Amino acid sequence: MKKLNCAFYNILPDLKTYTRNKMSGFNLSISDKPFEIDKLDPKTEVLGIFVESKIDKKVFAKLPNLKMIAAFSTGFDHVDLKEAKKKKVAVCNVPTYGENTVAQHTMAILLAISKKIFQSTKRVKEGNYDYHGLRGFDLRGKTVGIIGTGHIGYYMIKMLSGFEVNVIAYDPFPNEKLTKELNFKYVTFNKLMAQSDIVSLHVPLLPETTRMINKRNIKKMKPGVIIINTSRGGLIEPEALVWGLETGHVAAAGVDVLEEERYISHPECLLESDCKSEDVKDSLMENIIIDHPNTIVTPHNAFNTTEAIKRIIDTSVENVKAFAKGEPQNDVTKPRKKK
Amino acid at 21: N
Asked if 106 interacts with ligand NAD (CB under 6 A), we say no
Q: Nearest approach, Cβ of 155 to ligand NAD (angstroms)? A: 8
Asked if 296 interacts with ligand NAD (CB under 6 A), we say no
Give 222 or 300: the residue with its C-beta nearer to ligand NAD: 300
Asked if 100 interacts with ligand NAD (CB under 6 A), we say no
Distance CA 326, CA 317 (A): 14
3-class DSSP state of 185: strand
Chosen residue from 231, 295, 315, 319 binding ligand NAD by CB under 6 A? 231
Asked if 152 interacts with ligand NAD (CB under 6 A), we say yes
Segment 24 to 83, residues that bind ligand NAD, using CB under 6 A:
74-75
Q: Nearest approach, Cβ of 63 to ligand NAD (angstroms)? A: 24
Asked if 99 interacts with ligand NAD (CB under 6 A), we say yes
Active-site residue, from 105, 151, 232, 262: 232
Residue 285 contacts residue 242 (beta carbons within 8 Å): yes
Instruction: For strands 166-170 and 27-30, give the pairing.
Output: unpaired
One character per residue 232-251, x = contact with ligand NAD (rule: CB under 6 A): x-------------------
Nearest-10 crossing angle of helices 117-125, 99-114: 60
Q: Nearest approach, Cβ of 289 to ligand NAD (angstroms)? A: 16
Segment 253 to 272, residues that bind ligand NAD, using CB under 6 A:
256-257
Asked if 313 interacts with ligand NAD (CB under 6 A), we say no
Q: Nearest approach, Cβ of 105 to ligand NAD (angstroms)? A: 7
Catalytic site includes residue 311 = no
Asked if 230 interacts with ligand NAD (CB under 6 A), we say yes
Q: Nearest approach, Cβ of 193 to ligand NAD (angstroms)? A: 12
3-class DSSP state of 17: helix
DSSP state letter for 41 = -
Chosen residue from 302, 309, 312, 317 binding ligand NAD by CB under 6 A? 302
DSSP state letter for 205 = -
Asked if 294 interacts with ligand NAD (CB under 6 A), we say no
Distance CA 42, CA 7 (A): 11
Give the neighbor-by-neighbor strand order of the sheet with 68-71: 27-30, 5-8, 46-49, 68-71, 90-92
What ranges in 39-164 are assigned the alpha helix state H? 57-62, 81-86, 99-114, 117-125, 151-160
Size, binding site for ligand NAD by CB under 6 A: 30
Active-site residue, from 45, 237, 259, 261: 261
Catalytic site includes residue 232 = yes
Outline where DSSP puts E strands in the chain: 5-8, 27-30, 46-49, 68-71, 90-92, 143-147, 166-170, 185-186, 198-201, 225-229, 250-255, 295-297
Catalytic site includes residue 135 = no
Amino acid at 136: G
Q: What is the secondary structure of 208-226 as a DSSP string?
A: TTTTSB-HHHHTTSPTTEE
Asked if 209 interacts with ligand NAD (CB under 6 A), we say yes
**Binding interface with ligand NAD (CB under 6 A):** 74-75, 98-99, 102, 147-153, 170-173, 202-205, 208-209, 230-232, 256-257, 300, 302-303
**Active site amino acids:** 232, 261, 300
